[in-house]
Amino acid sequence: MTTLELHLDDPSFGELAQLAAAAKQPVDAFAENALREAVAAYRDRDYLATRAARADDAAFAAVLAKIPDVEPDPQDRW
């Protein structure tokens, strides 16, 4: 495991400590999980951007055009 030293201003640390306490976790564990989630979000964003770049708007419109223009059944309404 690698150690990372992080310097936060007092307001940011206070907020982090409050969130960690609400989650019933130590501050360092909460920060580690938050960082892990942020990294995953960046990875997902890049993956989705790559997929979006391959999108074919005409093909999508053709698929949507096959959907009938009718009201949904009563059990399918909100």
Residue 27: CB partners within 8 Å, gap ≥ 6? 13, 16, 17, 20
Range(s) of the domain holding residue 26: 11-68
Instruction: Report the distance separating Cα 17 and Cα 40, nearest Å.
Output: 22
- 77 assigned to some structural domain: no
Q: Is residue 46 part of a domain?
A: yes
Q: Is residue 4 part of a domain?
A: no
Q: How many distinct structural domains can be found in the chain? A: 1
The answer to whether position 3 is within a domain reads no
Residue range 12-67, pLDDT digits in tens? 999 999 999 999 999 999 999 999 999 999 999 999 999 999 999 999 999 999 99
